[in-house]
Amino acid sequence: MSGRRKLFEAGFFEVMSTKMIEINLEENPCPELCIVRSLLTTGRMDFTIGPRPPKHLFLRGEAMDVTTLAETQIRHYGEIKVDPMR
């Protein structure tokens, strides 16, 4: 399999056709990064956020204040890509 990649569909084509992203793993080991990536994807690709991400954010909202979201971005990307104060 030299140089070839496997494609695991896992909802990819549905997301591309509906232009709506969802959180697939509620027990995500990195919920802060998951939220940041969701926000980046919706902004970059003009997608919408499905009903589960806001619920996910609300359920974990006490632990994820704006400082946590900013620190998560700096730790992962080396910069703030989504202003958590907007």
pLDDT, tens digit (0-9, with 9 covering 90-100), for 13-60: 888 899 988 777 767 778 788 888 888 888 889 998 888 766 666 555
Using the CB atoms, write b or e for 34-61: b if 16+ within 10 Å.
bbbbbbeebeeeebebeeebeebbeebe
Query: CB under 8 Å to 5, separation ≥6 — which residues?
Result: none
Could you tell me the residue ranges of all domains in the chain?
Answer: 25-77
Q: What is the pLDDT of residue 8?
A: 60
Q: Above 60 in pLDDT, residue 61? A: no
Q: What is the pLDDT of residue 28?
A: 73
Q: Above 60 in pLDDT, residue 80? A: yes
Q: How many CB atoms lie within 10 A of CB 21?
A: 20
Confidence of residue 9 (pLDDT cuts 50, 70, 90): low
Confidence of residue 67 (pLDDT cuts 50, 70, 90): confident
Q: Above 70 in pLDDT, residue 71? A: yes
